[in-house]
Amino acid sequence: MRPLKVLLPGTGPRFQCGGLAVELQLAATAQTLAPTRVVTYGQRQPDAPFLDDLLRQEPASLHRQASLWLVSWGFHVPRLLRRLRGRAVAYHAHSSGYGFRLAPGVPVLAVSRNTMAYWGAHAPRNPLFLLPNTLNPAFHNHGRARDLDVLVQRRKTSAYVLHVLTPALRERGLRVHVQEGWVDHPEDLLNRSKVYLYDSVDHWNRAGVSEGFGLPPLEASACGCVVFSSLNQALADHLTPGVNCFQIGAGTLAADVERVWSVCRMETTPPSAFSAPAPLPSGNLRQQQLEQVLQEVNTHWDRLAAGEQPLRPTPGPCSLTVRWKRWLRRWR
């Protein structure tokens, strides 16, 4: 296979987030399949080559001896694709809704069905692949006593959870811990907590893009927490209310408080007691899945290098025309 270059703005503390962890994990797995390097383009780092330098050293080519470049960082994707024109490239898509269009022939490696469906509608003739994220094996149930009733991670959490539900739960006598900032070992906190609250819908609505995968509730469930979650975008790929989670903000504040309190006091059978989210690919299965996807992406670029033309989608109607037709239907 072509050597793989995984593009990231940087890998230092400034860039710490779930997306960075996912890309570094993918690069580590890909290293067992093809020569793989993490390449930075926003910040020079001593442990990684810099994109500007590599572009000068490696002439643009689609052939096998040249690299396959993997882009992923949301709003940076359009300008990266412009810089990589004439080279084999693929888009590892997390969130969707950034508003850019993909050039014909650029493969999409979607982390969730929700993201795959978005690109299935917006780039229907581009090669699409489902490549779910993996769950770090550090996230597992330690089987110890739990001294916290409820865990909330401030990042991405709604004002409703932070300023309405959390005070109400404390008034009922529950021990609620609000985690501030990024921590290196969240599995330790999760294993101390009975209930995990996750409500990201406001965060992603403000960002104007989707919840691309939703690892935190899966990590919490793997650590034995009962999950109360919103069900926006890719969260619905994994979570089913009443089966492996409770919906948060479902109807009234009193209903939320009563359900959380009942679970903490074990007066309500938690959904996780009878069903957990489907396991994510890991180990050899993850390696095989990534190998199959990379082989298909390499074969696709072999065809384009040989002169085949990528398919183009049928031009859609003007958005103004669509809105006008919708308006007319209201009055029929």
329 pLDDT above the threshold of 70: yes
Query: Which pLDDT band holds residue 235 (cuts at 50, 70, 90)?
Result: very high
Mean pLDDT of the chain: 91
Q: Is 36 helix (H, G, I), strand (E, B) or coil?
A: strand
What is the CATH number assigned to the segment(s) 148-273? 3.40.50.2000
308 pLDDT above the threshold of 90: yes
pLDDT tens-digit map of 167-208: 999 999 999 999 987 777 899 999 999 999 999 999 999 999
State the pLDDT at residue 320: 73
Contact 298, 291 (CB under 8 A): no
Q: What is the mean pLDDT of residues 60-70?
A: 94
Domains 4-134+284-305 and 148-273 share a fold: yes
Q: What is the mean pLDDT of residues 216-222?
A: 93
Distance CA 209, CA 234 (A): 11
Tokens of 179: 């985690």
Distance CA 233, CA 224 (A): 24
328 pLDDT above the threshold of 90: no
What is the CATH number assigned to the segment(s) 4-134+284-305? 3.40.50.2000
State the pLDDT at residue 270: 65
| Strand intervals (E) in the chain | 4-8, 36-40, 68-71, 88-93, 108-110, 128-130, 148-153, 176-179, 193-198, 226-229, 246-247
pLDDT tens-digit map of 8-58: 999 988 888 888 889 999 999 999 999 999 999 999 999 999 999 999 999
Backbone angle region of 156, left / alpha / beta, with phi > 0 → left and psi within -120 to 50 → alpha: left
pLDDT tens-digit map of 250-298: 899 999 999 999 999 886 656 655 456 666 666 678 899 999 999 999 9
Q: 226: closest CA among 254, 261, 177, 251?
A: 261
State the pLDDT at residue 41: 96
Q: Is 176 helix (H, G, I), strand (E, B) or coil?
A: strand
Return the domain boundaries, the chain. Answer: 4-134+284-305, 148-273
Query: Which residue type occupies 287?
Result: Q
